[in-house]
Amino acid sequence: MAARKAMTGGIPSAWIKSYNEVLKTPNWNWVESIVYDNVLYEHGEGGQALTKAKNNMMSSVCGHTHTSCYVQWLVGKRFRVFACQSGCGVNNKSYAARYAKNFKKQAIGCAVVLNNGELPINLLMEL
């Protein structure tokens, strides 16, 4: 988003640093989504984990949604998948989240998936 705003503001692309430069992670490969142990991991913009799990018929973990955190299982005659919404990692008092100052209390935490993609767990921060 920062690079897009800079471009529309007329800042030359040569002045924009990559994630790897800013975060000092030269060997990291940044992707929009990834499947690991048959679980889809996505940032979550444009839909929550439940929608992703239903649409893709696969277990899905998403973040981004500031006020939602859950694990829900979808079980059919021949399949079982989970939807894990991990909440967000940004406090609404931070500069990055000022636009969300009128949101309800945020679900700040993270999710882990254990047992080769079979056990989703949400961990919420004490606020």
Round the average pLDDT of the chain to a whole number and report it. 86
Same domain flag for 102 and 54: yes
The tokens of 62 are what? Answer: 């998403």
Same domain flag for 42 and 14: no
Same domain flag for 19 and 37: no
How large is the average pLDDT for residues 55-74? Answer: 90
pLDDT of residue 13: 79
Give the chain's end-to-end CA distance (angstroms, integer). 28
pLDDT of residue 89: 75
Reference 74, options 109, 49, 37, 43; nearest CA is 49
Same domain flag for 51 and 111: yes
pLDDT of residue 46: 61
Least confident window among 1-10, 48-57, 78-87, 111-120: 1-10
Same domain flag for 69 and 118: yes
Full residue range of the structural domain in which residue 22 is found: 1-30
CB 91 within 8 A of CB 97: yes
How large is the average pLDDT for residues 72-77? Answer: 95
pLDDT confidence of 101, banded at 50, 70, 90? low
pLDDT confidence of 15, banded at 50, 70, 90? confident
Q: DSSP letters along 30-49, please?
A: --SEEEETTEEEE--TTS-H
Q: What is the pTM of this model?
A: 0.78
The residue among 89 and 85 whose pLDDT is bigger is 85
